[in-house]
Structure 1
């Protein structure tokens, strides 16, 4: 017992030493900011990620930020810390004085911020006419009441919007309200939306499809809809997101762990043919119930995307039929412009001969610069 207690005390001392060392490093970083010409700074980027900071350090940061009267671009990475309500109030007090902001980026993931804390921070920005807004709010214990505070920052000048609401307590109606407010952002060119929220996606998929359809100026779209539904019934309602997207250059979608079946997603992916100018495509359908038909479908679609140069496909933990490999390879060989391919396939459904065949075929692409090729173990009991 004495030995165990001794080890625990020693571990606590080591942790205290690490915390003190970390705090000193943070203070040194803030001193560098302090020694800058704060009044004339155009851009401020601060990363205090995973430093166990709380009220004390935030108060120091605030004292410097509020001197940056002419700053237009702020990027704060405060993820994985101990930021709660009081620290949020301090931070809000400084941001409120920065009335010239055009770009605001905040990563405050993995903090016990809660709704009130986030509302204080975002309310302080309501006078800003932002062109770029990035909010990473993953696992911050926020609820529906933050949605109207987020949407009050939407405006017609906004061109780039990134929001990560994963692992929070926002319900389907809250997400619908958020998505419905996209119509304000008529000039939006880049949209990134992470909604990994563990509820049935059919509650919001229809709204998501209809509202994104209206964003005709989108050049880049990134959607993460993991764990959205037990049966994948939501997917058909997303079809409209590809309509009127002639300017779309980059599309990324993460549909991991939705138990999707071939018949549910084939119609969705066929809509990609509407995006004739697509240059970059990333699809993650890992941990679903897909077989060979979806792979063949995506292969045939790729032949219609004449400008495609970047391709990332993840079929990990699916029941992909190895027989589809040859037709898939044949389709890919028609994509003459491709420079980069990343491909993940489940190993137990595809034998080594088929895998090697696909790999050799892909290497024949005339402009291919990089090929990342993985064949993963398949576990039917996921």
Structure 2
């Protein structure tokens, strides 16, 4: 959980007396949780880290000590009821479970585990402007969720804004009874205090320094450019005026509400994925904070160097690796007990199903693995190899981001089924890149993949490449029907190139998109799919209903679209007024000058466009 100046109150290891340590272990007896370590203690609580077999991840548990004490009981009930209000809200701290041990008269609240606080992250990073935008978006969304449920905080600071590496999100976590007020007891000006506090925090991240006491006082009575003159000539002055100035307006009545701020943020291209490159603190054996140790290996003989690293990149592409060498690689990987981020590129080798089994077995022994980029393109692993990899990945309990490249591996329907069975058990995934190009999975294989995706309700970023897989209309229908049940996806990159969708298949994809109202970034590749003007008009009408899309990249090369289709598509797309980035590829269709003019007219009609490119 949260940290301050590189030493987290939630991740700092503390010594316990033997009695207290045993008490905490006893508390979890008979539950699906295993005590791992003590984090901190306050008047009413022990805060500990545990491992959940049910939720397949690390969790934080607040254990309330004295349930026969009225104040402690009230604190427990207040915090539990507050967290219950925001259950299943993506930008709020999640309550996972409640525990009670009558024998020792203690109760516990199980919440999602966060790695560190914003203050700890800020001490190690100079946020880029894109990262500032992403942070701003997440904090405002979080504040909006809290206020919608009548939750207002007296004071928010960077120590009680936590970052979850697994979910790639910053969340506001400050729910003690002493630090909160009921909505009914607050004036509107007091409700704006939280917006002001978040604004002040964002200014510090934006400036990459703490504000001086005089600057903090001046912000209460002066406009931002008067209080902090160095911002006047800043490269991103528009962001200062549009967002920050409206969060710290000295006139409390004029402070923007979260919904107004989010609407203004639509003018900017927000990419939450950029936060993944932030450097995070990690605990060394001496319990001091250090940055994640990275190593990059491009020589087979250097594999013995990777053992002590947390961020490992191994690139042995086209290295003539067979099953024997794959076993050696696996033996080195399984010794990396502290690795949390692993890239393994074995493209163009010959590991076959046996090598895949060895690689998979090594991965399941990496208990801290959260980010995995595994490239097995062209390794002839076939369905059995897919099963070997899949059965191991589902045992990686802390995996939150998976990039799996299985291009040209002769998987077929059975291989797709094996991968699907694996994915549906990886409930911790929030980001999935799955590349199955050229594997002959057919419509039946597409159905297996689709069924598994709709069970992964935590995924927010999906990159799915099914190019050249003979999906036809039925396979496309299966993918479309499954996608529309994935309501948490905000970033979708879908490649259906060379699958003979036709008009009917295009309509299925279009219908699924209009039901995915949370998508903000959409990349859709429909290259050479026999799509006519009717198909593109259907697609346009659906996109017109997706008003949250800010970035659209659409590849419709080598289809059967004429001027009429281009005109109809333009009429629909010009109503997508929140799009800031637009790329359209329409080469090798039947579009003449009139069609070209219609498409180019979008540059004038979409008022928020920052970047646009049209290819004919």
Equivalent residue for 1:102, pick from 317, 320, 340: 340
Q: Are the counterparts in 2 of residues 332 and 362 from structure 1 also a CA contact under 8 Å? A: no
* Aligned 8 A contact 1:230 1:258 in 2: yes
Which position in structure 1 is the counterpart of 2:476?
235
Residues 337-348 of structure 1 mapped to structure 2, 5 A cutoff: 337-348=578-589
What is the rounded CA distance, in whole Å, between the counterparts of 2:505 and 2:341 in structure 1? 39
- Identify the match of residue 327 of structure 1 among 553, 568, 584: 568
Paired position in structure 2 for 1:88: 326
1:207 aligns with 2:448: yes
In structure 2, how many angstroms separate the alpha carbons of the residues matched to 1:286 and 1:64?
44
The aligned counterpart of 1:280 is 521
- Cα distance, 1:173 vs. partner? 1.0
- What SS does structure 1 have at the residue aligned with 2:568? helix
CA distance in 2, matches of 1:141, 1:128: 25
Q: 1:64 to 1:228 in 2, by over 3 A?
A: same
Distance in 2 (CA, whole Å) between partners of 1:238 and 1:113 is 30
Write the deviation string for residues 55-78 of structure 1: whole angstroms up to 9, x where unpaired.
Answer: xx412x122223x2xx22222222
Equivalent residue number for residue 352 of structure 1: 593
1:378 maps to what in 2?
none
4+ aligned runs moved over 6 Å, structure 1: none
Aligned: 1:126 with 2:126:
no
- Aligned match of 1:115: 353
Q: Does residue 317 of structure 1 match 2:558?
A: yes
Match of 1:150 in 2: 389
How many residue pairs get aligned? The number is: 326
Alignment correspondent of 1:53: none
CA contact (8 A) 1:157 1:185 kept: no
Deviation at 1:347, TM superposition (A): 4.2
Deviations 1:350-378 (A, max 9, x none): 00232023113334321211112111xxx
**Distance in 2 separating the partners of 1:369 and 1:260:** 32
Relative distance call for 1:145 and 1:198 in structure 2 (3 A) is closer
TM-score scaled by length of structure 1: 0.79
Mean alpha-carbon deviation: is it higher for 148-157 or for 97-106?
A: 148-157
2:296 is matched with 46
Going from structure 1 to structure 2, the CA distance change for 1:105 and 1:373 (only over 3 Å counts) comes to: same
Q: Is the 8 A contact 2:300 2:316 kept in 1?
A: no
| 2:583 alignment partner, SS class | strand
Aligned to 1:185: 426
Return the alpha-carbon distance in structure 1 between the equivalents of residues 567 and 469 of structure 2.
32
CA displacement 1:97-153 (0-9 Å, x = unmatched): 111222222121112332323332332222123222221111112222222332212
Alignment partner, residue 605 of structure 2: 364
Aligned to 1:76: 314
TM-score, structure 2 as length reference: 0.50
2: CA distance, partners of 1:178 / 1:162: 13
Give the stretch that moved more between structures: 143-152 or 293-302: 143-152
2:411 corresponding residue in structure 1: 170
- Contact 2:582–2:612 (CA under 8 A) maintained in structure 1: yes
Q: CA deviation at 1:45?
A: 4.2
CA change 1:125–1:282 in 2 (3 A) is same
Matched residue SS, 1:91:
helix
Aligned to 1:138: 377
1:299-354 superposed Cα distances (whole Å, 9 cap, x missing partner): 11122112211101111111112212122112111111111111111345000232
Highest Rg: 1 or 2? Answer: 2
Name the CA distance, whole Å, in 2 between partners of 1:233 and 1:243.
Answer: 16
Deviation of 1:201 after TM superposition, in Å, equals: 1.4
Quick one: which of 225, 249, 253 aligns to 2:490? 249
**In 2, Cα distance between equivalents of 1:45 and 1:367:** 42
State the 1:290 CA deviation. 0.8
Q: Give ranges in structure 1 of 5+ residues lacking alignment.
A: 1-38, 49-56, 376-382
CA distance in 2, matches of 1:98, 1:172: 34
For residues 357 and 243 of structure 1, what CA distance do their matches in structure 2 show?
30
Deviations 1:213-268 (A, max 9, x none): 11111111111111121744321122332244332111111111112210122023
Unaligned runs of 5+ in 2: 1-284
Shift of residue 164 of structure 1? Answer: 1.3
Structure 1: distance between partners of 2:441 and 2:319: 31
